[in-house]
Amino acid sequence: MLKGTGVSKGIGIGHTKVLKNEEVKLTDFKVDNRENELEFFKKCLNDVIDDTKKVTEKLSGTESDIMNAYLMILQDPTLTSEAERLIKEEGYNAGYATKVGFETVEEVFKNMDDEYMSARASDIQDIKQKVLNKIVNKAELDLSNLPENTILVSEDLSTSDTAKLNLKSIAGIIIEKGSENSHVSIMARTHEIPAIVGAKNIVKKLTNDEYIAMNGSTGEIFENPTQEEIDNLTKIQKDLKTEKENLSKFIKRKSITKDGYKTEVVANIGTPKDMDAVIANGAEGVGLFRSEFLYMDSDSMPTEDQQFEAYKEVLERAEGKRVIVRTLDIGGDKDLKYMNLDKEDNPFLGYRAIRICLREPEIFKVQLRALLRASVYGKLAIMLPMISSIDEIRDAKKIIEEVKEELKAKKIKFDKNVKVGIMIEIPSAAIMAEELAKECDFFSIGTNDLIQYTVAVERGNEKISDLYTKFHPAVIRLVKMAIDGAHKSKIFCGMCGEAAADERYIPILVGLGLDEFSMNPTKMLSARKMIRSLNHKECKKLAQEVLKMSSAKEIKARLEEYKNSL
């Protein structure tokens, strides 16, 4: 039996499709007509861009976000400048110039101190391979047309590869690289596909079309499984299916503990299309509408009317339930080519989110006008991201009031009582929670960034992924400070990071007094079931116990023990 790390629960039984990276063999010959060669290179590049756009158009939510970031790298002139120079000035053929030119840029990214930028080297490597395939007319593997019950086995799966998958054909995913927080892992959990990462040398150990079985919870991989092993795994698979079917009875139930403590389980969405899953899973509202997808899915700044229509659609479909829209959150890992933002050495600590909106108020005002106009169609709340100080809240609220006055002057209707809240995702905001709560109507804790900024670990870095943990005592204490600060001012506090959906973490959040759990729609019913199984008083005792601990490992073990005891 082979072993890796299980990152998405479920049982996969099927035949392997082993993906091996085959280098295109190139020579450094020179051409007579440099102009024609340059045009050929640009055509191949544009073909890859067009292919990527077609794939991206079919996506939504987090996957759309990731693919748009990939597309921006693909269209960045910095990527192609060296390859173009090698053709124009030195006369090299397009293939050789692409290989050498792109690898020069790839090496620069690999050596960057910033972990996020360093990780982009794998995207450049993937782009290079796709352009080379066009140049040598090599057909790419059609990942959209794989046989049913295929188990994908690879060293890694690139951003573009995962976007092309026909997920209905995939019985499981096994890769050598990756971590619990990598894109592949998140995608697998979102679509409920069993997945294992960290399976060392798996590409060499398994052959193509081999019959195998896998357990996405334990990380176990069974080559040519025995009938007994198949029977055991099939039983687990059946139990998981029964569990999923049983969850349907929680669609219309309230998110309330056995002793009457009331919470709400709401959804994270990226586009109006995501409302189908929100409704199907019985969400009590939308806790995070990532409005930046409206910007990232466009070649130019979306107009006020385009934004208005999107917000209106979501509010109408929510049927009076609260919809929290996060204002434009770009920068860091999200860029907009048409904004021409400067490249930064450390974008996660740079010019992003509310910092951009406050310094470029005309962009901010367009979004605010669209939001306020849409507010008459439902229960809208506006959430400001990346708040680090009280001055930022006051400055943002001043701009909001200016927009309200502009709408009044034009006699345009809007809800005058729209709530304005902030994300708690920077440690300074959690520490100042009591003071910040006096300036706004609600909090939502963004654990993904809060963990990253608290423990100084970039969440996508597999080398130190074990250090990026929601179980760190400092993170839990900051969460407590945020919740306590909100409650002292009698405003509600939610959480929209991935921790809100973790069944090991939910009991302590209930114990700390969290009011709202916001997550991917596919996780909501499991979370609601968990909340309804809890006793609030017991959870408070658990929270007090955990707050005295100083080890992330001990906290994780204690919370897992508590979950298993339920």
In a 3-state reduction of DSSP, which class is residue 341?
coil
Catalytic residue annotation: 183, 496
pLDDT band at 364 (very low <50, low <70, confident <90, very high): very high
State mean pLDDT over 93-118: 76
**Mean pLDDT rounded to a whole number for the chain:** 89
What Cα–Cα distance (Å) separates residue 325 from each residue in 101, 291, 384? 42, 7, 9
Predicted pLDDT of residue 318: 97
- Would you tell me the crossing angle of helices 473-488 and 447-455 to the nearest 10 degrees? 130
- CA distance linking residue 159 with residue 162, whole number of Å: 6
Say how many C-beta atoms besides its own lie within 10 A of residue 296's C-beta.
Answer: 24
- CA distance linking residue 233 with residue 13, whole number of Å: 9
Residues 6+ apart with CB under 8 A from 440: 384, 393, 420, 421, 422, 491
DSSP for residue 566 = -
pLDDT band at 126 (very low <50, low <70, confident <90, very high): confident
Nearest one of 281, 210, 277, 239 to 10, comparing CA atoms: 239
**In this predicted model, what pLDDT tens digit does every residue of 399-443 receive, in sequence order?**
999 999 999 999 999 999 999 999 999 999 999 999 999 999 999
Class of domain 34-135: mainly alpha
Indicate the Cα dihedral angle 145, 151, 157, 162, nearest 10°.
40
Instruction: For the chain, give percent helix, strand, coil, nearest 5.
Output: 55, 15, 30
**In this predicted model, what pLDDT tens digit does every residue of 518-551 receive, in sequence order?**
998 988 999 999 999 999 999 999 999 999 999 9
- CA distance linking residue 516 with residue 520, whole number of Å: 13
The answer to whether 498 and 232 are in contact (CB under 8 A) is: no
pLDDT band at 331 (very low <50, low <70, confident <90, very high): low
Predicted pLDDT of residue 61: 60
| % residues pLDDT > 90 (the chain) | 65
- CA distance linking residue 376 with residue 467, whole number of Å: 45
Predicted pLDDT of residue 114: 46
pLDDT band at 113 (very low <50, low <70, confident <90, very high): very low
Indicate the Cα dihedral angle 459, 460, 465, 470, nearest 10°.
30
- CA distance linking residue 382 with residue 421, whole number of Å: 6
Nearest one of 419, 472, 421, 420 to 450, comparing CA atoms: 472
pLDDT band at 140 (very low <50, low <70, confident <90, very high): low
Predicted pLDDT of residue 24: 65
271-285, 331-345, 356-370: the lowest-pLDDT one: 331-345
Beta strands in 60-210 (DSSP E): 150-154, 170-175, 195-197
**In this predicted model, what pLDDT tens digit does every residue of 198-235 receive, in sequence order?**
999 999 999 999 999 999 999 999 999 999 999 999 99
Class of domain 259-565: alpha beta
Residues 6+ apart with CB under 8 A from 364: 327, 328, 357, 358, 396, 399
Predicted pLDDT of residue 115: 46
| % residues pLDDT > 70 (the chain) | 90
Nearest one of 60, 123, 471 to 292, comparing CA atoms: 60
Q: CATH classification of 2-21+141-246, choosing from 3.40.50.2300, 3.40.640.10, 3.50.30.10, 1.10.490.10?
A: 3.50.30.10
Quick check: 377 pLDDT over 80? yes
| DSSP structure string for 243-258 | HHHHHGGGTTS--B-T
Q: Which residues pair with 212 in a beta bridge?
A: 14, 223
The answer to whether 29 and 93 are in contact (CB under 8 A) is: yes
| DSSP structure string for 354-407 | HHHHHHSHHHHHHHHHHHHHHGGGSEEEEEE-S--SHHHHHHHHHHHHHHHHHH
The answer to whether 372 and 418 are in contact (CB under 8 A) is: yes
Say how many C-beta atoms besides its own lie within 10 A of residue 241's C-beta.
Answer: 12
Nearest one of 386, 384, 380 to 397, comparing CA atoms: 384
**In this predicted model, what pLDDT tens digit does every residue of 288-327 receive, in sequence order?**
999 987 887 667 788 999 999 999 999 999 999 999 999 9
Q: Which residues pair with 289 in a beta bridge?
A: 269, 325
**How is residue 374 written in tokens?**
């849409």
**In this predicted model, what pLDDT tens digit does every residue of 443-485 receive, in sequence order?**
999 998 899 999 998 766 667 878 899 999 999 999 999 999 9
Quick check: 72 pLDDT over 60? yes
Higher pLDDT pick, 551 / 117: 551
State mean pLDDT over 28-48: 92
The residues spanned by each domain of the chain are: 2-21+141-246, 34-135, 259-565
- CA distance linking residue 507 with residue 174, whole number of Å: 31
**How is residue 187 written in tokens?**
């995608």
Residues 6+ apart with CB under 8 A from 79: 73, 102, 105, 124, 127
Beta strands in 234-293 (DSSP E): 264-269, 286-290
Quick check: 514 pLDDT over 90? yes
Instruction: Establish how many alpha carbons lie within 13 A of residue 441's alpha carbon, considering only the half-sphere containing its beta carbon.
Output: 12
- CA distance linking residue 173 with residue 269, whole number of Å: 25
Quick one: which H or E segment has residue 452? helix 447-455
